[in-house]
């Protein structure tokens, strides 16, 4: 830990001594991070498919592992428990091979 403290102090002194190099390094890092963020945003907007649901940004994935088999599954008691506590604020869709909204949901099949 003491060696890390000494190395940090040494690096700080060297960067303070040569302020032009420090300024250039910070500028290059800022430009690189900004360019990377811009490219990711453009590629994400162009190639990421939009989900065919209203307010898709509010989707949540619910699952529960089966106690007997250990396989993932989606169980009705999980949904009814969440509905009973007022934690669900919209329709539910399944993705277990059967398409469409869950029974009791407000959207048509």
Residue carrying structure tokens 């907007």:
45
Q: For the chain, how many structural domains are there in total? A: 2
Report the pLDDT value the prediction gives residue 107, as an integer from 0 to 100.
46
pLDDT for the residue numbered 54 = 75
Q: What is the DSSP letter of 103?
A: T
Please tell me which residue, 93 or 61, carries the higher pLDDT value: 61
Verify that 61 and 96 share a domain, yes or no. Answer: yes
Regarding whether 100 and 68 lie in a shared domain, the answer is: yes
- Whether 59 and 97 share a structural domain: yes
Residue 109 lies in a domain: no
DSSP state of 93: B
Phi, psi torsion values for 40, nearest 5 degrees: -60, -40
The verdict on 43 and 62 lying in the same domain is no
DSSP state, residue 49: P
Examine the domain organization and report whether 29 and 8 are in the same domain: yes
Tokens of 82: 């969440």
DSSP state of 106: S
| 43 and 26 inside one domain | yes
Confidence class for position 96, pLDDT limits 50, 70, 90: low
Residue 99 CA to residue 2 CA, distance in Å, equals: 60
Sign of CA dihedral 68, 72, 76, 80: positive
Between CA 63 and CA 46 the distance in angstroms is 30
| Domain boundaries, position 34 | 2-47
Strands (E), the chain: 64-65, 72-73
Residue 75 sits in the same domain as residue 56:
yes
Say whether both 41 and 55 belong to one domain: no
> Mean pLDDT over all residues of the chain?
76
């Amino acid at each position: 830990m003491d060696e890390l403290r000494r190395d940090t102090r040494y690096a700080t002194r060297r960067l303070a001594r040569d302020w032009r190099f420090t300024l250039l390094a910070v500028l290059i890092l800022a430009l690189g991070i900004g360019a990377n963020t811009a490219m990711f945003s453009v590629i994400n907007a162009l190639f990421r498919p939009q989900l065919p649901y209203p307010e898709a940004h509010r989707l949540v994935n619910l699952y529960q592992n089966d106690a007997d088999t250990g396989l993932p599954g989606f169980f009705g008691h999980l949904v009814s428990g969440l509905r009973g506590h007022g934690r669900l604020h919209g329709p539910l869709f399944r993705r277990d091979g059967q398409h469409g909204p869950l029974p009791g949901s407000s959207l048509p099949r």
